[in-house]
């Protein structure tokens, strides 16, 4: 290849690939923190807190578009710390093998490593292989900052509905619409000028961060997304803990929930 991998000894090649990926993964976390001032951590905490995993006993969970396992780790910690639950499990699913590898490495430093509590799987949220993810399997399906990147939201929701047990919960954390005009003005200024600038300075990658902002604006507003969730066969609204959706920071992010009927 143009990197001359063929001439590099096997061990050196492995560490070269590892170094390259380490820099990508560390940038990913840095950019998450930089663009949101670390607020994504609080949103993720609120998301998992609202689900109270383990409250009704051990759960089988799937965290789709799970990346490096931010949500999975919070689910397992919450269940253990609050209910001494070491049986709840999370299957982390992502389309990107490198993100999963970074997640696997990260979990190596935790007590969940080498236990049935966590596993990593490469798959597309829109088409999860049914041999690996059978119908009516999970108590909880989570997707955080991931559904926006998928080409078909209905396809993702259909798969979520298929793999959940009847009575199981679908929970989505995603960037959404800001309803307050003043906050929206400030947020627009920030998104269209500062985020691409941070992308250039910190990651040397303006386009990806411009895409990030545009994809947020294209995502359906709260009521429309709630309607799509209902159309996929979930109950939302009064019968679901927390209602159809909960805005975070005036709608910059939003949590949608549904229960499989």
CB-based contact 139:170 (threshold 8 Å)? no
Least Å distance, CB 11 to ligand SAM, is: 28
Element (H, E) at 61: strand 60-64
Answer for which of 25, 59, 61, 71 binds ligand SAM (CB under 6 A) is 71
CA torsion sign, 227 to 62 to 140 to 159?
positive
Least Å distance, CB 246 to ligand SAM, is: 17
Least Å distance, CB 251 to ligand SAM, is: 18
Between 99 and 171, name the residue whose CB sits nearer to ligand SAM.
Answer: 99
The verdict on whether residue 236 carries a ligand-binding annotation is no
Between 36 and 137, name the residue whose CB sits nearer to ligand SAM.
Answer: 36
If binding is defined by CB under 6 A, does position 171 make contact with ligand SAM? Answer: no
| Rounded-to-integer distance, Cα 255 and Cα 67, Å | 18
Answer for which of 53, 54, 67, 258 binds ligand SAM (CB under 6 A) is 67
If binding is defined by CB under 6 A, does position 99 make contact with ligand SAM? Answer: yes
Between 8 and 50, name the residue whose CB sits nearer to ligand SAM.
Answer: 50
Between 93 and 229, name the residue whose CB sits nearer to ligand SAM.
Answer: 93
If binding is defined by CB under 6 A, does position 140 make contact with ligand SAM? Answer: no
Between 124 and 246, name the residue whose CB sits nearer to ligand SAM.
Answer: 124
Count the residues of the shown chain that bind ligand SAM, applying the rule CB under 6 A. 17
If binding is defined by CB under 6 A, does position 31 make contact with ligand SAM? Answer: no
CB-based contact 213:196 (threshold 8 Å)? yes
Give the pairing of strands 245-248 and 234-235. Answer: unpaired
Least Å distance, CB 150 to ligand SAM, is: 4
CB-based contact 199:208 (threshold 8 Å)? yes
Q: Which residues contact 93 (CB under 8 A, 6 or more apart)?
A: 62, 63, 64, 65, 66, 121, 122, 123, 125, 128, 133
Answer for which of 62, 79, 140, 144 binds ligand SAM (CB under 6 A) is 144
Token pair for 108: 């190596």
| Rounded-to-integer distance, Cα 31 and Cα 36, Å | 8
The set of long-range contacts for 193-197, using a CB threshold of 8 Å and a minimum separation of 24, is 195/35
Rg (CA), the chain: 19
Binding residues for S-adenosyl-L-methionine are 68, 94, 124-125
List contacts with ligand SAM (CB under 6 A). Answer: 65-67, 70-71, 94-96, 99, 124-126, 144-146, 149-150
């Amino acid at each position: 290849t143009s990197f001359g991998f063929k001439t590099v000894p096997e061990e050196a090649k492995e560490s070269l690939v590892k170094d390259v990926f380490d820099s990508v993964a560390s940038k990913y976390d840095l950019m998450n923190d930089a663009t949101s001032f670390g607020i994504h951590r609080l949103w993720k905490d609120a998301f998992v807190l609202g689900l109270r995993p383990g409250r009704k006993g051990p759960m089988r969970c799937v965290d789709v578009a799970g990346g490096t396992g931010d949500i999975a780790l919070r689910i397992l910690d919450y269940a253990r710390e609050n209910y001494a639950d070491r049986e709840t499990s999370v299957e982390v699913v992502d389309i990107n093998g490198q993100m999963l590898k970074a997640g696997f490495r990260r979990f190596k430093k935790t007590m969940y490593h080498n236990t049935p509590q966590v596993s990593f799987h490469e798959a597309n949220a829109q088409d999860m292989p049914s041999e690996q993810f059978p119908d009516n399997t999970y108590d909880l399906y989570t997707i955080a900052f991931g559904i926006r990147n998928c080409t078909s939201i209905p396809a993702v929701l259909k798969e979520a509905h298929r793999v959940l047990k009847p009575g199981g919960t679908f929970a989505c954390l995603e960037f959404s619409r800001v309803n307050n005009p003043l906050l929206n003005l400030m947020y627009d200024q920030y998104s269209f000028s500062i985020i691409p600038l941070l992308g250039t300075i910190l990651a040397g990658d303006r386009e990806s961060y411009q895409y990030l902002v545009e994809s947020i604006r294209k995502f359906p507003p709260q009521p429309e997304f709630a309607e799509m969730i209902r159309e996929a066969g979930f109950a939302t609204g009064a019968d679901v803990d927390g209602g159809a959706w909960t805005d975070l920071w005036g709608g910059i992010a939003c949590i949608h929930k549904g229960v499989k009927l």
